Structure formats: structure tokens, C-alpha cells
Chain A
């Protein structure tokens, strides 16, 4: 049987399935159906076994040198042994609550009190007590809970839903593939999985037909999962897997080669990242740094805003991991399809056309100033650049540049170490920015084209609306002309131009961009190797004659056909 979903991260894997438990639903007001003494005894037993588990995990983490996780176990242990917490639970049980309800309601009270402090460190502790009381309640009721920290062998994780925190606490080296029934391509956990380069498929609906421990085949590129396989199907999957491995081997030979065309034209190759932890894994291949760091990951899936300190830590960590290579931080791009609960933004009729990114920062100086201060402080640790998204007008850019100056002067006044002379750029993703580019460029050092949004704003077509997906085409000459104009005008002004949308990692898109003169490409790290191989097949000198025909094609289909006629056949098999 084949389940079809949406591809998030490519890669093929044949492995046993691991079904992630769903978080059980508890009734916090459930009454006990047993004598108080029995209830208290069951609570005692659950506490004792969780204490043993925490001690064991702590030793395991400490032995593996994972100090942060070991410390976390200490904190949870201190909470488990806390006499106030325990007295509260006992009182609740004596008042007639069922054991699990007594634990969960007491935990919830502590959680709420910590959240009410409105402090980032303390809200993280609120998560700790939430996790811990859920764990105790599951132990009492004999229920499984979603947990990946105990994986001991390689598997494909199958989940209806998955929280980023569950994935973060997992033994990631054992996760060979990930299937999420309800996920979307842009959810935080998808972006995280992609950064960790775990082959991942989301949105394939009914995953409950997959059996625990059965052999499954995941094709991250096609977005498919094969389960309940017959012997023939299994043989076919093994054949596919071998072909995939062979292709991967070929690609790996490009690891340390430079990113250049067949006729020796060199380009810059950069990564798009979402979480600094993506940089902890060695990249597939050499590259020039980070062309897009989506800083909004710090703001999603949480109830409070990240502090300057927390942001500083994240940016500094990424800058240090890059060892001097550039780190281009895009300031928060919240709104559109990304919401931050802490900002409590109202629902909008047309979120992509609405209150989003710098448009929010225009009103929320606290938000952007905190972020810019963190960026300038982290800049002492590496080559950090700042990039403003969704710039539509020169005035918006001027406001952002004023904030940047203000952040620097505040830090100088407060005598806090920072760097004020960092490179500044904007995302070019709204056609008005292309039209006014000369004036924008006079104020900045670089631009980066956001092709996904540029396409949707060029055609006035929501890129998430299936009904207008026929307009979602980056190969349309209307888009190609805007890109060509951006590349040429930036070059005339002696400034840098890159592109960080999906188009850069796409086979056809990459060729078109190189022909239009783009020399800096930024894409998700899973696409880097293939991009090197593809570029090495292009003879850019000869292909130059294709530029005019591409710009004057009738539509996207004609532009793609032009490329297909002119590029070597093996380019489309690589």
C-alpha cells in the first residue's frame, strides 16, 4: 500500500516503523473511583518509577557528554522531589480527585504560576513541569506518551502529529525517516526535520494503517510511504533504494568541489537555515555560509517573545559554528502563513497581503529593536549580516535603518560589546521593490530575491491556494524579467545579489538563474550537493544566447521547453 503525502526533505530509506504515541487526553477534574489510600499509593509508585527513569537518563546523558540534557534531568528531578508540589497533589487526592487528575491539576497550577512571571527562562521551566506531570499521569494510568528519547535502533517514525520539542529530545541519529500525518510543509517541525536532513513526508492523512515494527519504504522526494508490502513490492523498493544510493554516491564526490559551471564560472553557494542546531551537523558539502537564517523560528510555537539574551545566544551560536563564513539573518517574517502566538495577531482576510514582517515592526519598535540589538551584539562573533524582509517602499527601509542606528547607539551608550558596521540588505520579493531598486540600493549593501513570494505577488495569486496554483510558476517570463532586472541593476550599482527561494534548488530554476546572470544561490542544505553537480554540467558561455529567448518566451511552459532543448539530457537525470 502506498500513502501519498507532501515531500519535505528528500532521501530514501527502508527501515522498520516506529509508531509515536499520541498525547493522551486527560480529564483534570476526574473523580477517584478508589479509596484515598489506594490513590496515594499509586501516586507514590508512579513517582518512584519516574525517579528511577530520570536517574537512568541523567547518567546516560552525562556519559554521552550531553551536559544540557543531563542538567534538564536534574531540574525535573528537583521538581519531582519538591515537597510543595507533592503536598499539593496529596491534598488534591484527599479531596477526591483521581490520581492522574491530582497530579495534572497540581502541575497545571505550577505551570500557570511560572508562565505568569512572564520571563523566558521561567516559561521554559513551565514546559518542564508540563512534561513531567504528563509523564507521571501516563505512568499512573499505564498509558504510552509521545516520546522519542528512548530510541535504540534505526527506524522510520510515524506520527499523527509531532511537536518540535519531541523531535528535539529524540536520539536523532536513529531516525532514518519521518512521516507526519497532519503536518504541513511550512510547519516548524517540518523545517526542523529538513534542517536535520531527515527524509520527511507530511500531510499523508491516515497513518494509522501502518503497523508497529513493520518494514516501510519512505521516498522523501516523491513524498510516498510504502507499507504492508508484498514480497514483490519489497523487492521493487530495494531496487529503488539501491538506485538512490548509487546516485547519492555520485553526488558525494562533489562534496569538496567548487561550485562552478563546466566552463569555469564560479558562483557562491549558501544555505537556508531555520535553527542554528542545523549547523551542528557537518554539511554534505563545502559551501560559502548562510544566505538566509529564518529568525522567526525563535518566535513560533511559544507563548512568550524570546528575550534579547536568548536571541543573542542563538545568533552567536550560529555565527561561531560558521567559523567566519557569512551568516545572513533575516529579521522576523511573522504573518502570512506564519503566526507567533506571543504576538496574538488577529486573523486576516488576506494574510499574505496584510500585516506581516516589517509592516508589524513599523508599529512594534520593541520587537525589532530587541532583535537588532541581539544581532549587533552577536556580530562580534563572526560575519553577521542583517536582511529586512517584505520591503515595499524606500520609507519602510529608512525606518528599519533608523532602528538599526538606534540599536547601535543604545548599545554604545550602555557600553555593551557589539559591531555596528555590519552589512545590511533587503529581501526583494515585492515587485515595487524591483521597480524602485536603484533608490533602495543607494542605502544598502546587498539584496536577496525571495522567489516564492515574488511569484505570488507578481501574479496576485496566494501560493497556498490550490485553485490558483497554475499561476505559481517561477519560470514565467514575467518573473524571469523581474529577476533579470534585479540582477542587472544590482550589478550596475556594484552591490551583491543572491536568491534564496525554492527556485535556487530547483533543477530548471538553477539553470535559468545562472543564464540570467545570478552568481549567488542560497537553498536548503539538502539541495546543495545536487546543485554543485547540476552547475558543473552547464556551459554558461554557450547558454548566454538563451537569455533573450527566455525573457521573451510566451509563458512558463515555453521557457521550460527552451531550456530542455538546450541543456544536456543527463542534466535532467542528475
Chain B
């Protein structure tokens, strides 16, 4: 299991397009990917799960990956979250 902590910096947080793309990215990995924020956890491969977590700007999140490609999965997703601009 790999866990990396990061901060959501973009203004609108993980809604709409950022969420949809996060899900698409997570689905490219075999590992189970979970995002933990404010004591809630969500499945990064389900858009409803991500939306329900309602992750806003300034939230500290932990990206957790478990599986064959866990290192790569966790790093790619953290990189994606950190690069969000809108």
C-alpha cells in the first residue's frame, strides 16, 4: 500500500471536469485507489463517490493505492491533483 498526502489547490476543488478526469485517470491503473479527506474516504474510480466527498480548495487529501501498480498510481494521481488549475 502506498499513501501520499497533498493539498487541493485549484479554486473549484474536485467537482465536474476535475472529478471526471480524476476518475478516468484512476481507471487506467489496476490498483484500488482511495482518496481520504476530512475523515471521509472515496473510491477514485467512481465519480459519484468523488462528488459526494465534496472536496474543496484548501483540503488536505491522502491518496492511497493498493495493488500491482500502487506506486505509479498514487504518484500519477497526486501529480494530477497538484496540476489542477481551474
Contacts and interface: CB of A to CB of B under 8 A. Distances in A.
- For this complex, into which size category does the number of interface residues on chain A fall? 20 to 34
Contacts of B46: 82-85
A79 B23 CA distance: 10
B78 interface: no
A50 to B, nearest CB: 15
B74 to A, nearest CB: 21
A75 interface: yes
Interface in B24-59: 24, 43, 45-49, 51-52, 54, 56
A71 B13 contact: no
Nearest to A126: B51
B72 interface: no
A74 B51 contact: no
Contacts of A309: 11-12
Given A84-B46, A119-B54, A74 B13 contact: no
Contacts of A78: 19-20, 23-24, 47
A124 B48 contact: no
Given A117-B54, A309-B11, A79 B16 contact: no
Contacts of A129: 48
Contact of A75 (B43, B47, B49, B56): B47
A71 B18 CA distance: 10
Main secondary structure of the interface of A (DSSP, over half): helix
A125 B11 contact: no
A79 B13 contact: no
Contacts, number: 56
B11 to A, nearest CB: 7
Nearest to A73: B20
B49 A84 contact: yes
B12 A74 contact: no
Interface residues of B, number: 21
A77 interface: yes
B13 A121 contact: yes
Contact of A74 (B15, B17, B49, B52): B17
A83 B45 contact: yes
A122 interface: yes
A351 to B, nearest CB: 36
Given A122-B54, A309-B11, A71 B16 contact: yes
B6 interface: no
Contacts of B15: 121-122, 125
Nearest to A116: B52
Contacts of B52: 113-114, 117
A110 interface: yes
Contact of B51 (A71, A72, A125): A125
Interface in A64-118: 71-72, 74-75, 77-79, 82-85, 110, 113-114, 117
A71 B17 contact: yes
A85 B45 CA distance: 12
A114 B20 contact: no
A121 B14 CA distance: 10
A119 to B, nearest CB: 6
Interface string B53-80: 0101000000000000000000000000
A129 B43 CA distance: 18
B69 to A, nearest CB: 19
Contact of A121 (B12, B21, B23, B48): B12
B27 to A, nearest CB: 8
Nearest to A109: B48
Nearest to B53: A117
B54 A79 contact: no
Given A117-B54, A121-B13, A122-B15, A77 B20 contact: yes
Contacts of A119: 54, 56
Contacts of B21: 74
A124 B11 CA distance: 16
A453 B46 CA distance: 51
A70 to B, nearest CB: 9
A117 B23 CA distance: 20
A84 B47 CA distance: 9
A75 B20 contact: yes
Contacts of A71: 16-17, 20
A117 B14 CA distance: 14
A110 B54 contact: no
Contacts of A79: 47-48
A110 B20 contact: no
Nearest to A77: B20
Given A117-B54, A119-B54, A122-B54, A82 B16 contact: no
Nearest to B14: A121
B84 to A, nearest CB: 13
Given A71-B17, A78-B23, A78-B47, 5 more contacts: A75-B47, A78-B20, A84-B46, A85-B46, A125-B16
20 contacts: A71-B16, A74-B17, A74-B20, A74-B21, A74-B24, A75-B20, A78-B23, A78-B24, A78-B47, A82-B46, A82-B47, A85-B46, A110-B48, A114-B51, A114-B52, A117-B52, A121-B16, A124-B16, A125-B51, A309-B12
Q: Give 8 nearest A-B pairs by CB, closest first.
A: A121-B15, A78-B20, A78-B47, A71-B17, A75-B20, A74-B20, A84-B46, A117-B54
